[in-house]
Structure 1
Amino acid sequence: MNNNPIIYSDFPDPDVIRVQDTYYMISTTMHFMPGGVILRSFDLIHWEIISHVYDELDNTPGQRLAGDSSIYGKGMWAASLRYHKGTFYVCFVANDTGKTYLYHSEDIMGPWRKQNVRGFYHDCSLLFDDDDRVYIVYGNKEIYLTELDADLNGPKINGLHRMIVKDKEDIRLGYEGSHLYKIYGKYYIFFIHWLSDGTGRRVESCFSSESLEGEFTGGDILDDDMGYNNAGVAQGGIVDTPDGEWYAMLFQDHGAIGRIPVLVPVFWVDDFPVMGIEGKVPLNIEVKSTRPGYVYKPLTESDSFYYEPDENGEVHLKNVWEWNHTPEHTLWSLTEKPGVLRIHSGKISPNVGLAVNTLTQRMTGPACEMTVTVDGGRLKNGDYAGICALQGCYGFIALTKEEEKYYLVMVAKELDPVESIWGEPGGDRKPGREFGRIPFLGNKVTLKVYADFETNVDTAEFYYLDKGQWNRLGIKHQLYFRLDHFTGCRVGLFLYSTKETGGMADYYNFIYGCLK
């Protein structure tokens, strides 16, 4: 059975390092909070989530989903992860604030100290050179190298600053996704571009130089889609094993599930990297584990919602959970009723995308199903509480209340053919379309979403449990990967109000199942 791609879930823009016998990887988390997910592995194939770099970023109105504002399609992306002289560094830009952020910590688990770097460095990569000088490389089409000051606050006065590579080909997307390294005494920069001719897909490139002041030369080094929809495997970092083998952790666009990690062997020929086996990414790959027998925590989990406060009286959700934006902490609880995730309503919202405190996990291919029991006994008229497939073209099943009566509804946003890949200008502020509605006696129900991510399928179906039987409500909803959210589809537990605030919903016994 093939094990490459190594993770069938949305972990894009990976950057990977090794510290002694342990590999660490960071991935883009966009608008989700906590952000900057950190994963750990001992064999580069199996991974577990161990921490996040930050709980909140700048707490702006958009990051909080205040009013009709949001940061969907923006936020944190393409971080650089480095380890230098006992300190971990994470550097990235946020496209909603237009800022560059640098976090550092002596412990990969945190806490992380935050600062800003003057300037905006798209798809940046840090390099700590042997002489303790620090550089940042970045850009799109034109790739620049800038020396930073000793405190990493911004460009060094009279420091090195130059364009090192410029994409001159017929391109849809110029060089970006930079990763800069010093290996065997030479400098290597990896990035991707998207050609307009030929295969017309994402391609991995590499350029090298004897010095940072010298000429960088090179070209394309991997052009392969693993037989999947002409989706090129590219963009990410490289890392060596303790035994001296080299691998690239790249990603591949994989439809609505998102952008999924792919591991590619790297060989050195005449001091230049060669990726893949005869130009192809292997479907099966093995890497010697530095800790054989280690048992990894799953990347997705069920949750009973029984949590014990820590020594400070705080409750921390499992690392697999992330909120859709910065949460409003006064409006959710795991302690008001043990074994229950409780969400309170504090905002009027036109649709689920603008609902505060939607709790999410990544979906998993090739198929997955998630169930949860919802108690809507304290919903207000116009409230919706349920489980969703969260993306721009979302779908959900929910318990709702109208004129003091309960209904089950299936609601979705269909793809509008006149919309661009970026979605509606200014974001989607319209209600979704209702595809199913039935009266419901009672206020407590078990709901399910089933998602199928087989090649060219990308659909979600929604069910409710009645007398031990699962019944589908509404349509089989088509899912998409678009740039309005720029993330893979996620499962979300949500509550939102359309008429008045003050309602409340309880969520019990979340069960996550990976299928096929």
Structure 2
Amino acid sequence: METNPILRLDYPDPDVIRVDDTYYMVSTTMHFMPGCEILRSYDLIHWEHASFVYEVLDSTPAQRLQDEDNIYGKGMWAATFRYNKGFFYILFVANDTRKTYLYTSKQVIGPWKKQHVEGFYHDASLLFDDDDRVYIVYGNKQIFITELREDLLGPKLDGLHRMIISEDWNPILGYEGSHIYKIHNKYYIFLIHSDAKEWKRIEACFVSDSLDGTFIGGDILNDDMGYRNQGVAQGGIVDTKDGEWYAILFQDRGAVGRIPVLVPVTWKNDYPVFGEDGKVPKEITTNSHNLKYIYQPLVGSDDFIYDFNGMGKDKLKSFWQWNHEPDSNSWFIDQEKNGYCIRTQKLAKDMTQTNNTLTQRMKFPSCAAFVTVDGAKLNDGDFAGIGALQGCFGMIALTRENGKYYISMQARKAPNTSLGQESENAHGVEYARIPVESSEVTLKLSVDFMNQKDEATFYYLTENGFIQLGIVHSLYFKLDHFAGCRFALFTYSTNQYGGIARFQNFVYE
């Protein structure tokens, strides 16, 4: 018996498929790269990394963090994942380029073929029908279905195109997050929306005997698992080899992000019933056909000892993603001293706008990480450290000024708790600074997300253990980044670029 949520990490907008006895899940990765991560499972409860669909997307100036550009709060999201006649299909939009992307592969591990689809399809879902015709369902408030050409790269001339569901009257969040399936010889569309009187995610389903018929339905899950009125909704459904059905949805958990929840699905008169007596079970079990399998962790420590076999750069461990597209010429692994190194290539205002920041998801309900920073090659005005990456960031870093070293704790406070407002104090504020004699320090960040406490505390290591520096900083999930808070290893220059920082022995607690 396992507990819900099944993953206590930020994996929003999930879609899930089964191929034989293996389940695969894709989720939104926004601005992080490599992107469009696919997870693998044999029991729908335990998951591990399978692959990234792309290393970089379009290499636009904003995706590369060129100058002051960025794609925070944009990038890829809400992919649809399908397997049909020996091919995997992933389709999503990127909200910075305003393009629709189709990736196909014979294997989950790739290589993936990249193509563009004519049009822009918000929260899209693909349907491969029994007659080999292909459709896409998409939209916000107004949900449309459009028949695609045989190559899937655009609408089919004179093909089906119609609005099938509308909720444009909802002042908070109308229907979106489409997932379409053909089951029991009927067509089912699963959607998310909010209660019209207060913000709360609710799962809905509509069904029709045909794609040109009337879709009838309504809400099928309105439950917060007893957690702060945060509803559970939006995701895919999947069957097991034994004929059972499950949905993987997500729930907002504050600054840590949106985390997956597994919901049993039964059928009554060919209509889906989510949960048990209208509730998401807090404990859940499934049947596995691979009981002895050992899953690799989705987060973890790294000693940065990599053997690239003299072939140059290779991939880092799969739990790392860069904040944006990395600059491959300005990061490297120091194989003599075992460290991840960043050489700054521009001036930056703060940790959010610097290249090659290495990130990992934070874990609910609490977690911590520490890392040793070697700043012997920093320039005056450089900062190198560990931070809580979000719009209202917090950080602790080694810095150099007039040839002397200091530890600095900085943060950008949020002006309010609303979802939509961006943070104030564009450059952040320094709340504490102490001098240090060494160019090598060990810095720590701990976070507490329980009951949306959402606080970050910063430390530095002394002979007597870790000592707190600066304030306890409040974190918030906001639309400016639209992603869960992450640990971030960063270096940035404020006066002269070209400085180098080395990160050693990252420990995830």
Distance 2:401 2:357 in 1: 22
Per the alignment, residue 283 of structure 1 pairs with 282
Q: Is the 8 A contact 2:306 2:335 kept in 1?
A: no
Superposition map of 1:57-456 within 5 A: 57-167=57-167, 170-197=170-197, 200-309=199-308, 313-335=312-334, 337-417=336-416, 421-423=420-422, 430-456=426-452
Per the alignment, residue 495 of structure 1 pairs with 491
Distance 1:365 1:102 in 2: 32
Q: Is the 8 A contact 1:93 1:100 kept in 2?
A: yes
Superposition map of 1:20-35 within 5 A: 20-35=20-35
Provide the alpha-carbon RMSD of the alignment. 1.5
Distance 2:203 2:277 in 1: 15
Query: Which of 475, 479, 495 is residue 483 of structure 1 equivalent to?
Result: 479
Distance 2:310 2:155 in 1: 42
Distance 2:181 2:291 in 1: 29
Distance 1:13 1:153 in 2: 23
- 1:443-464 C-alpha deviation (Å, 9 max, x unpaired): 0011110011111311010111
How many residues in Structure 1 have an aligned counterpart in Structure 2?
Answer: 509
Q: Are 1:41 and 2:41 counterparts?
A: yes
Given residue 389 of structure 2, which amino acid in structure 1 is its aligned partner? L
Aligned pair in 2 of structure 1 residues 118, 311: CA closer, same or farther (>3 Å)? farther
Q: CA deviation at 1:125?
A: 0.4
Given residue 191 of structure 2, which amino acid in structure 1 is its aligned partner? F
Aligned pair in 2 of structure 1 residues 80, 96: CA closer, same or farther (>3 Å)? same
Q: Is the 8 A contact 2:313 2:332 kept in 1?
A: no
Structure 1: unaligned runs, 5 residues or longer: none
Q: CA deviation at 1:11?
A: 0.3
Q: Is the 8 A contact 1:307 1:338 kept in 2?
A: no
Aligned pair in 2 of structure 1 residues 418, 127: CA closer, same or farther (>3 Å)? closer
Q: Is the 8 A contact 2:370 2:445 kept in 1?
A: yes
- 1:256-302 C-alpha deviation (Å, 9 max, x unpaired): 01000000010100001010101000000001112012110011010
Q: Is the 8 A contact 2:418 2:478 kept in 1?
A: no
Distance 2:159 2:13 in 1: 29
Distance 1:242 1:500 in 2: 60
SS of the aligned residue for 2:3 comes to coil
Given residue 368 of structure 1, which amino acid in structure 2 is its aligned partner? C
Distance 2:93 2:364 in 1: 29
Q: Is the 8 A contact 1:16 1:239 kept in 2?
A: yes
Q: CA deviation at 1:169?
A: 5.5
- 1:118-146 C-alpha deviation (Å, 9 max, x unpaired): 00000000111111111111000110000
- 1:25-84 C-alpha deviation (Å, 9 max, x unpaired): 001000000000100000000000121100000000110000001000000000000000
Q: CA deviation at 1:171?
A: 4.1
Distance 1:335 1:442 in 2: 20
Q: Are 1:470 and 2:456 counterparts?
A: no
Aligned pair in 2 of structure 1 residues 207, 376: CA closer, same or farther (>3 Å)? same
Q: Is the 8 A contact 1:315 1:334 kept in 2?
A: no
Query: Which of 504, 508, 515 is residue 504 of structure 2 equivalent to?
Result: 508
- 1:389-444 C-alpha deviation (Å, 9 max, x unpaired): 101110000000111111000000001249872416xxx78321001100110100
Aligned pair in 2 of structure 1 residues 179, 263: CA closer, same or farther (>3 Å)? same
Moved more, 335-344 or 17-26: 335-344
Q: CA deviation at 1:313?
A: 4.2
Q: CA deviation at 1:335?
A: 4.5
Q: CA deviation at 1:168?
A: 5.8
- 1:447-484 C-alpha deviation (Å, 9 max, x unpaired): 11001111131101011101141111001110100000
Q: CA deviation at 1:337?
A: 3.9
Distance 1:111 1:170 in 2: 42
- Percent identity, aligned pairs only? 58
Q: Is the 8 A contact 2:2 2:45 kept in 1?
A: no
Q: Is the 8 A contact 1:383 1:495 kept in 2?
A: yes
Q: TM-score, normalised by structure 2?
A: 0.98
Distance 2:440 2:71 in 1: 33
SS of the aligned residue for 1:330 comes to coil
Q: Is the 8 A contact 2:383 2:397 kept in 1?
A: yes
Structure 2: unaligned runs, 5 residues or longer: none
Distance 1:420 1:196 in 2: 17
Aligned pair in 2 of structure 1 residues 421, 310: CA closer, same or farther (>3 Å)? farther
Q: TM-score, normalised by structure 1?
A: 0.96
- 1:337-374 C-alpha deviation (Å, 9 max, x unpaired): 45110110111001111011100000001111101000
Distance 1:189 1:8 in 2: 27
Per the alignment, residue 56 of structure 2 pairs with 56
Q: Is the 8 A contact 1:171 1:194 kept in 2?
A: no
SS of the aligned residue for 1:451 comes to strand
SS of the aligned residue for 2:329 comes to helix
Distance 2:21 2:327 in 1: 39
SS of the aligned residue for 1:173 comes to coil
Aligned pair in 2 of structure 1 residues 279, 171: CA closer, same or farther (>3 Å)? farther
Moved more, 432-441 or 2-11: 2-11
Aligned pair in 2 of structure 1 residues 312, 403: CA closer, same or farther (>3 Å)? closer
SS of the aligned residue for 1:316 comes to coil
Given residue 411 of structure 1, which amino acid in structure 2 is its aligned partner? Q
SS of the aligned residue for 1:455 comes to helix
Q: CA deviation at 1:312?
A: 5.4
Distance 2:96 2:507 in 1: 34
Given residue 283 of structure 2, which amino acid in structure 1 is its aligned partner? N
